Amino acid sequence: MNLFRNNEYCYTCSKKFYKDNVAFNISGILDSLTPFETIDTYNAILFNDKAEELGTLNFKAIQGYKVAKDYLEDINWLTINYSRLFTYYDYVPFSYYSDSDFVLNINYYINDKRVQQVTKEYSAGLINDIIYLTDSKYDYVDLEVNGKSLRYYKLKPVDYTSQVMRVYWYNCYGGISFFDFTSDYTESTDLNYDTYDKSIYDYYKGERERTAYYNKEVQYTITIKSHILSKDDTGIFDDLASSSKIWVERDNDRKYIIIKNQSVDRNDYNTYQASITFNYSING
């Protein structure tokens, strides 16, 4: 099987088999070839051992665990929507794929009554945008396309911390998901460094320090907790745990993080609270 990406040859797979059907698992190949936040067109041409063409498979792939044939008809929302979603800040990422131009309706609700609607027009293709929400009062907002809505509840906890932290990740559909952690926050800093001794010449040349840094790494470890959740709100953390690309925004810069520990604990009165511990490093 010869695999082509955007009409350019990229890989050949081969297997020996007898009588039974043969299958190729190319998910790893697609993950390595397809950049994040893109959708690529692939063609797989099948041959037998006599170089006779047996057929062609056409499909599109996105960086994620799921591959949809032809186009992403069933998963146009590139966002996990099997649990309630929340936003603390007045902006949310918007991930969507469409093979034609479309209109996004942003509907604001108070007491289940729509009080405002804003529309945005998009061209066909993969969309990864930031939707800036109104700073007016609302209970929840629906992002609606073609009659289907993605709902975000406005999160203003009573007992919140000044260290609200939004964690982003590429979800299993290849879109961008996020969660705003608004409860307990702790941070620690570790310094890891290597040093060397300067030569006598350098020492007497001007700088009087005998020892200098060869390599220095600053590592931050952060533990954050969510607000109190219902069981229906916790499904999104399964997707977070399985993501291979997770980041936070600090000082207007994207910092990719490694999650060291994640838990969703049940509290009294059958409520839940999620907690994650992660770290990232800066080389100095």
Whether residue 70 has pLDDT greater than 50: no
What pTM does this model have?
A: 0.79
Measured at the CA of 105, the angle between CA 131 and CA 170, to 5 degrees, comes to 45
Q: Is 119 left (phi over 0), alpha (psi -120 to 50) or beta?
A: beta
CA distance 18 to 22: 9
The CA–CA distances, whole Å, from 176 to 81, 126, 136 equal 12, 12, 25
Residue with tokens 């460094």: 193
pLDDT of residue 246: 95
**pLDDT grade for 278, boundaries at 50, 70 and 90:** very high
CA distance 216 to 194: 6
DSSP of 244-277:
S-EEEEETTEEEE-EEEEEEEEE-GGG-EEEEEE
Whether residue 227 has pLDDT greater than 70: yes
Per the CB < 8 A criterion, the answer to whether 48 and 20 are in contact is: no
* Each residue's pLDDT tens digit, 206-218: 555 566 666 677 8
More confident call, 201 vs 119: 119
Q: In what order do the strands lie in the sheet with 272-283?
A: 185-197, 211-225, 272-283, 258-266
Half-sphere exposure of 21 (CA within 13 A, CB side): 2
pLDDT of residue 184: 86
pLDDT of residue 201: 58
Half-sphere exposure of 188 (CA within 13 A, CB side): 5
Per the CB < 8 A criterion, the answer to whether 84 and 192 are in contact is: no
**pLDDT grade for 72, boundaries at 50, 70 and 90:** very low
pLDDT of residue 102: 92
